[in-house]
Structure 1
Amino acid sequence: MELRQLRYYVAIVDHGSLSRAALVLHVAQPALTQQLRQLEDELGAQLLHRSAQGVLATDAGKVFYEHAQAILKQVGDARSAVIQSTTRPSGSVSLGLPHSISNALALPLLMAARNTYPEITLQLTEELSGNLNEQLKSGRINLAVLFDDGQLGAFASSALVEEELRFICRTGSVFGPPGERVALAEALATTLILPAQQQGVRPRIENVAREAGLHLSSVIEINSIAILKSAILADMGATILPVAPLLADIERGAMLARPIHSPALARKVTLCASRNIPLTNAAAAVKRLVHQVTADLCAGGAWPGAQLPK
């Protein structure tokens, strides 16, 4: 198996057509077809469904596509690392951010990267934390911001912030608390709109509830901040989240955010990298920059509810 075969296959899947891929790759279509046939023969599996409308990856082809992408990325990273060893950091760096973090961190980080490292192309991916975990393991991204739930042993991780979780509902909601603070037991007895199991804040809430001998009464599972926000504004329930992803609605008075007590709730936010794949100079520079930007945001109060780890 050759790297060019991986490049050819990824291009075919990306463009959905052998003829379009051949044009982009500047390769004759018969030669491309021959390389694809050799690849399928070597793997002993059909990788593509062919039709008059184009091509689609089979189930086996989808698995191979993910691995091919990861391998090509690692080869590119290796090439960049050698070049960067004697020059200023440059090249492409991919960083994954959970939905609930990107509102606070994404734009300040992009601006800082552009000003500090103009030769680095920073690619930000916004995803569910579980998906980011898998992408980091497979080498499809260089770095990821994840939540420390005690299951990050596979990664090289460094603490970023501790983020307070609050009870958030629509202003005037039937689920609204009578006081300025909400006991955890009271919050859990409410209809809560939360991410699905093993995503985002959910594991932290479940763990603290279990330790306190409590359980969630009624949960609506939504894995999208935008849809979750709409559901809260429609008064379908309340949520337990950091303030940052819903800050605009809280500041304009459409939502209320109340501290939780007995016990209080917070989560640990960490920056993770693979233990098995070395960081390029550019990725190491971005890692340092993430920590610097985070510290600046906390110092200036621009990341509400977050504080640097003690």
Structure 2
Amino acid sequence: MELRQLRYFVAIVDHGSLSRAARVLHIAQPALTQQVRQLEEELEAQLLHRSAQGVIATDAGKTFYEHAQAILKQVTDAKSAVAQSNDKPSGTVALGIPQSVSGALALPLLTAIRATYPEITLLLTEELTGNLIVQLKSGRINLAVLFDDGQLSPFASTPMVEEEMMYITRANSQYGAVKKKTVTLAQAIKAPLILPGLQHGVRPRIENIVRSHGMSLDNVIEINSVAILKSAILADIGATILPVAPLLSEIERGDMVALPISGERMARTLALCASKNIPLTNAAAAVERLVLDVTDDLCRSGKWLHAEGLARE
């Protein structure tokens, strides 16, 4: 198996066509087809399904595509690590962040990167926590912001921030707590709760806290998209328990109301994680330091609402 075969295969899947991939790669289509055939023979699996409309990856091809992307990225990182200067890091760094964190962190981080390291290209990936863990393990991303649920031992992790989770409803909602400044946990879980799925880091935290009080979540509407979750809350389909960051603009406009949950410290801890097995390039290490600095600044200034920066060794 050769690196060029991996590049050829990834290009075919990305373009959905052997002819288009051949043009981009500047290779004759018969030669490209032969390379794919050799790859399939070596793997003893069909990687592509060919039709009049183009080509798509088979199930085996989809699995191989993920590994091929990770391998090619690590090769690129290795070349960058050799060529980079400690004084002026450059190259591409892939950072994964959960959907519910991007509203607070993404724009300030992009601004800081452009000002501090103009020669670094930052690729931001917004995903569910479970997907970020898979991508970080495989090397497809260099760094990831993950929820510290006590299971981050496979990674090199640095504490970032602790966010308070609050009970959030539409303004004047039927599920709102009228003229109250707080709600109890028992009151909060009476409403239909719109929550992310269990593969999202915040959901297991809520489930564990509710169970520790001898209660259960019996009326959950599961939505993994922040945009759809917002629409559901504004339609008064239910309430949610989340940090305020992903819903901040709606809360500041007065479209939503966020109340602390009394009697129980409901919070989630975020950590910045890297692989223990794949060394960081100089550029990735620079981004790692900058993420922590930006997080601390946002917490100190109060721009990351109901969030507290965590001490580090």
Q: TM-score range by the shorter chain?
A: over 0.9
| Letter of the 2:212 counterpart | E
Q: SS where residue 97 of structure 1 aligns?
A: strand
- 2:230 aligned partner: 229
Q: CA deviation at 1:264?
A: 2.1
| Letter of the 1:72 counterpart | L
CA distance in 1, matches of 2:199, 2:7: 34
- 2:88 aligned partner: 88
Maintained 8 Å contact 1:49/1:57: yes
CA distance in 2, matches of 1:250, 1:131: 28
TM-score, scaled to structure 1: 0.98
Q: Where in structure 2 are the equivalents of 1:166-205 lying within 5 Å?
A: 166-178=166-178, 179-205=180-206
Q: CA deviation at 1:172?
A: 0.8
- 2:108 aligned partner: 108
Q: CA deviation at 1:204?
A: 0.8
Gaps of 5+ in 2: none
CA distance in 1, matches of 2:7, 2:212: 50
Q: CA deviation at 1:238?
A: 0.4
Q: SS where residue 216 of structure 2 aligns?
A: coil
Maintained 8 Å contact 2:128/2:199: no
Maintained 8 Å contact 1:190/1:217: no
Q: CA deviation at 1:299?
A: 1.1
Spell out, residue by residue over 1:65-88, the C-alpha distance to the aligned partner (whole angstroms, 9 max, x if none): 110000000000101111115662
CA distance in 2, matches of 1:53, 1:172: 51
Does 2:227 correspond to 1:211?
A: no
| Letter of the 2:32 counterpart | L
TM-score, scaled to structure 2: 0.97
| Letter of the 2:210 counterpart | A
Gaps of 5+ in 1: none
Moved over 6 A (4+): none
Spell out, residue by residue over 1:264-284, the C-alpha distance to the aligned partner (whole angstroms, 9 max, x if none): 201101101111111111000
Spell out, residue by residue over 1:188-236, the C-alpha distance to the aligned partner (whole angstroms, 9 max, x if none): 2221000011313111101111222221131000001110010001111
CA distance in 2, matches of 1:284, 1:185: 44
| Letter of the 2:139 counterpart | G
Q: CA deviation at 1:15?
A: 0.7
Maintained 8 Å contact 2:196/2:222: yes
Q: SS where residue 24 of structure 1 aligns?
A: helix
Q: CA deviation at 1:186?
A: 1.3
- 2:117 aligned partner: 117
Maintained 8 Å contact 1:49/1:58: yes
Task: Indicate how the Cα distance of structure 1 residues 32 and 151 shifts in structure 2: closer, same or farther if over 3 A, else same.
Answer: same
- 1:308 aligned partner: 309
Note the aligned Cα RMSD (angstroms): 1.0
